[in-house]
Structure 1
Amino acid sequence: MGKYVKKVAFLVLVLSLFVAVLFLVQKEKNPASHLPKITVSTFALYDIVKHIGGNNIKVEMVIPFGVEVHSFEPTPKTIIEIQKSRLFLYSGADLEPWVSNLAQGENLRDMSRYVHLIEPEEASDDEEHHHHHHNAVDPHYWLDVDNMILLAKKVMSELMVIDPQNSALYQKRAESYIQGLTDLDAAYTKRLQQCKVRSVILHHNILGYVAARYGFAVEPLTGLSPDALADAQTMADLSKSIKEKGIKVLFFEAFVSDRMMHSLASENGIEIDYLEPLANITASQAKAQMSYVEGMQSNLEKLARAMECE
């Protein structure tokens, strides 16, 4: 009888150890379960938090990959996820009008308050005769490297408040991330310095900040709104610019219809290509873990080719 009891006790001990090891393994497999959760609205913000937060922060985009940011409307489940997160970082500058319907909790951060915003008129002298919302602020500020650096610094400080014991890690990662942005800025400055063509025609104006920073003009088909329709006069004006300025490539952006740009390109016998707006990326790009810097580098190569830069 004593041998039986000892055998049962041994089996119970072995089983307990097995369960304990299994628990630790499962915890290791899912370390994000106990991490501070940050929700964000755009890919640019997601990229910053992902790189600076590393494996110490759980970050989720409330706008699914592959969805056009301008037309997104949150579900009740999305709103609950925002409310439950430690921080919700959104782009602001009227990019996400649905945010105004949320209960304004202490976890909400309008990131446009920490960057330099420009009016559409500041972006390019050649845009004035096209369709703009002249009283609106250009919301595409994340395409300005300086603004991304400001955002990175703000994210770093927020993470330090949430998780002070890892402050040194966040500072180190932020410095590395900012260095990557500085290198990106240097690459843009060098590649776009001497170009035969100094004007870019695209569907809606995502390049206002880029053009202002690197000294070229932007002529959009529909201004700041991707959903606006161009009239016949705008199409005629752009055709005239194509001929006068020697433009050989037109651009549209991912997530918007390229129908009108294809029509304009076909009428003028020139090429069409697309740029990464980086407010969001496709599901396949997310699976491949494309970064903000990689998206900007892709845009640079296409711009340099279209503008015939040395």
Structure 2
Amino acid sequence: MRSGRVAALIAAGVAVGAAASGCGTASDEGSDGKLTVVTGIYPLEWLAVQVGGDHVEVTNLTEPGAEPHDLELSPPQIRTIHNADVNFFITGLQPAVDDAIAKEGGERALDVADLVDLLPFDEAAHDHDATDHDHDATDDGHDHGHDHAHEDEGDDHGHDEGAGDGHDHGDEDPHMWQDPELMAEAATGLAERLAEADPDHADDYTANAERVGTELDAIDDEFSSGLKECKSRELLTNHSAFGYLAHRYDLNQVGISGLDPESEPSPARIAEVARLVKDKEITTVFTETLASPVVAETIADETGAKTAVLDPVEGITDESPGTDYPSVMRANLAAIQEGLGCS
């Protein structure tokens, strides 16, 4: 994985250097000479700060603690998109951002969906219903190494009303930041775009992307080794926001509700999940920092399971188990290891 990213970054640097004399930015730089980068959600903000370093000014449109899927933009925020050098976003995640970028900043858009392979919803959801097949908790037959491809696994995983929600995300799951390797790929693509807009600092963007790629590889290593041997592989979550994590590390995500954390699961869905908890002997129901825990706590009470908290890493608040993307991801790893009985 890393050799491919390095080659891409080197090639981008050569190309930018050759074209530097005729290359300009798509819009005016910030008043302090920095490139302006606009993001819609925290993980991309973190990535832009890491890759851009001192040469960029990053504005995130979603306030900490706000539900990013339901973001509504103010006129000043739309002007920010219009004036940005780079609009860094994930199509299908935030409809208001998609619409504003299409109208005001499409020519300066950098869509993560063009940088990484997003998973189809049916593959990312990886949800099980109460009749799904058994899964060996320790001998799973999957490769947990770095070259784990996000291909169709060929299983016919059960789906139900918990896999859908009221938001139109398109055909692909946009929650790619739950996979550190996809974040590293996005860092490479962002560095290339920043280098095109600001050739004088192309080498810095390349070096920053390589550095953050190393950090993300380390997180991936920790997840791969930390989740290799677990008593259970059933990841029962408040909503289906952890499909990429489950897919990469061969867990079975069971979302009580769909991709919208505010959606209410039906009584039939709640009963179905409760049966699954008993059938699979699931011991932990994971709630989330930005979603109501009521339904998850009800299922836990009815089945004798305990609850634990996972952070979807959609924003950093005082309630977050860390101060940035790496620390929250590592806190999530620790919570999953405890909840699934990993050794």
TM surpasses 0.5: yes
Report the alpha carbon displacement of residue 205 of structure 1 after superposing the two structures with TM: 0.6
1:176 is aligned to: 211
Give 3-state SS (helix, strand or coil) of 1:34's partner: coil
Aligned-partner Cα distance in 2 for 1:112–1:42:
14
Report the alpha carbon displacement of residue 110 of structure 1 after superposing the two structures with TM: 2.0
Give 3-state SS (helix, strand or coil) of 1:63's partner: coil
Aligned-partner Cα distance in 2 for 1:189–1:177:
18
Confirm or deny: 8 A CA contact 2:64 2:317 kept in the other structure: yes
Q: Deviations over 1:246-293 (max 9, x none)?
A: 22211122221111112111222322222121222226769x8x2211
2:62 is aligned to: 63
Q: Deviations over 1:104-140 (max 9, x none)?
A: 5312222222211112321325151342239732121
The Cα RMSD (Å) is 2.1
1:203 matched to 2:273? The reply is: no
Aligned-partner Cα distance in 1 for 2:307–2:31:
42
Aligned-partner Cα distance in 1 for 2:216–2:176:
14
1:239 is aligned to: 274
Confirm or deny: 8 A CA contact 1:149 1:181 kept in the other structure: yes
CA 1:283–1:72: 2 relative to 1, 3 Å: farther
2:52 is aligned to: 53
Confirm or deny: 8 A CA contact 2:238 2:286 kept in the other structure: yes
1:35 is aligned to: 34
CA 1:284–1:257: 2 relative to 1, 3 Å: closer
**Which among 99, 102, 114 is matched to residue 101 of structure 1?**
99
CA 1:251–1:79: 2 relative to 1, 3 Å: same
2:162 is aligned to: 131
Confirm or deny: 8 A CA contact 2:311 2:320 kept in the other structure: no
Aligned-partner Cα distance in 2 for 1:43–1:218:
23
CA 1:56–1:302: 2 relative to 1, 3 Å: same
Deviates more, 1:32-41 or 1:259-268: 32-41
Confirm or deny: 8 A CA contact 2:46 2:324 kept in the other structure: yes
Identity %: 25
Confirm or deny: 8 A CA contact 1:191 1:309 kept in the other structure: yes
CA 1:121–1:53: 2 relative to 1, 3 Å: same
2:76 is aligned to: 77
Aligned-partner Cα distance in 2 for 1:143–1:41:
16
2:184 is aligned to: 149
Task: Give the unaligned 5+ runs of structure 1.
Answer: 1-30
For residue 74 of structure 2, what is the amino acid of its counterpart?
T
1:291 matched to 2:291? The reply is: no
Give 3-state SS (helix, strand or coil) of 2:32's partner: helix
1:86 is aligned to: 85
TM-score by length of 2: 0.76
For residue 221 of structure 1, what is the amino acid of its counterpart?
I
How many residue pairs match? The answer is 277
Aligned-partner Cα distance in 2 for 1:50–1:117:
23
Aligned-partner Cα distance in 2 for 1:125–1:221:
9
1:305 is aligned to: 338
Decide which structure has the larger Cα Rg and report it. Answer: 1
Aligned-partner Cα distance in 1 for 2:314–2:68:
7
For residue 113 of structure 1, what is the amino acid of its counterpart?
D
Aligned-partner Cα distance in 2 for 1:285–1:267:
27
Give 3-state SS (helix, strand or coil) of 1:272's partner: strand
Deviates more, 1:187-196 or 1:220-229: 220-229
Give 3-state SS (helix, strand or coil) of 2:239's partner: coil
Aligned-partner Cα distance in 2 for 1:190–1:205:
23
Deviates more, 1:252-261 or 1:300-309: 252-261
For residue 111 of structure 1, what is the amino acid of its counterpart?
V
Aligned-partner Cα distance in 2 for 1:96–1:64:
14
Aligned-partner Cα distance in 2 for 1:302–1:251:
9
For residue 111 of structure 2, what is the amino acid of its counterpart?
D
Q: Deviations over 1:168-196 (max 9, x none)?
A: 11111111100111111111110100100
Aligned-partner Cα distance in 2 for 1:284–1:247:
26
For residue 54 of structure 2, what is the amino acid of its counterpart?
N
2:116 is aligned to: 115
**Which among 269, 285, 291 is matched to residue 304 of structure 2?**
269
Aligned-partner Cα distance in 2 for 1:248–1:169:
47
Confirm or deny: 8 A CA contact 1:32 1:57 kept in the other structure: no
Report the alpha carbon displacement of residue 100 of structure 1 after superposing the two structures with TM: 4.2
For residue 305 of structure 2, what is the amino acid of its counterpart?
I
Task: Give the unaligned 5+ runs of structure 2.
Answer: 1-29, 129-157
Matches of residues 252-267 of structure 1 in structure 2 within 5 Å?
252-267=287-302
Structure with more helix by fraction: 1
